[in-house]
Amino acid sequence: MTCPSLDVIAAFALDELDEPELKRFEEHYFECDACLRRAERMHTLVEQLRAAPPPVLTRARRQALEGRGVCVIEVRPDERALLELGPSREIGVWLMQAPLADATRVDLEGRSPEGSVVFSFADVPFDAERGQVALLCHLHYRGLSSPELHVTMTAQARADEPRVTRYVLDHAFANPR
């Protein structure tokens, strides 16, 4: 048997193979050290991704991170704010304020200063009572072309036109040790 594709190994790690495919894969897997190592690495990656916090946080998830000492930066519409990340602070949270009391849906889009889309999230969790959306930022974002991120939040209320608010989120990345 030839070694299975990466798609098959990913499906194995995600428990998505049907019984005949699983049996074929396991017969090969136990005989091939290379596929065993690939499957172990894929399984580790899947577990890391499952454990990683999502990019936009619920109120409860944000509060749990705050309880662990994660830096939270509040930013109001049309403001610019700075979040500093480095070896001792690998993640931070942007807490974007907006009038969301009557919102039924919130979408976020982030762009570079040149206008290229960095992310686009539809129907994100938001705290209507406090008028907040929590966006998680990671140290590994230092690979972006610019430390400046232009975020547009679009809040839809029941009968109103969508409300658009904008933020400029600056990042300062300390050099790794």
pLDDT for res 49: 63
Pinpoint the residues of the chain covered by CATH 2.60.40.1930: 56-173
- CB atoms inside a 10 Å sphere around CB 42: 17
Q: Nearest Cα to 168, choosing from 83, 56, 65, 103?
A: 83
At 147-175, the pLDDT tens digits run 899 999 999 987 778 999 999 999 888 76
Q: What is the pTM of this model?
A: 0.69
Checking if the pLDDT of 177 tops 70, the result is no
At 129-141, the pLDDT tens digits run 999 999 998 876 7
* CB-count burial class (<10 Å; 0-12, 13-18, 19+) for 79: middle
Checking if the pLDDT of 176 tops 60, the result is no
The CATH number assigned to the domain with range 56-173 reads: 2.60.40.1930
pLDDT for res 154: 96
Q: Please state the rounded mean pLDDT for residues 110-135.
A: 93
At 23-81, the pLDDT tens digits run 988 888 888 988 888 888 888 877 766 666 678 888 888 888 888 878 899 999 999 99
Measured between alpha carbons, how far is 65 from 67 in angstroms, rounded to an integer?
Answer: 5
Q: Where is average pLDDT lowest: 8-22, 40-54, 97-111, 131-145? A: 40-54
Mean pLDDT, the chain, integer: 87
91: confidence class by pLDDT, cuts 50, 70, 90: confident
Measured between alpha carbons, how far is 28 from 11 in angstroms, rounded to an integer?
Answer: 15
Phi, psi (rounded to 5 degrees) for 142? -60, -15
The residue ranking higher by pLDDT, 77 or 118, is 77
Contact at 8 Å (CB) between 139 and 90?
Answer: yes
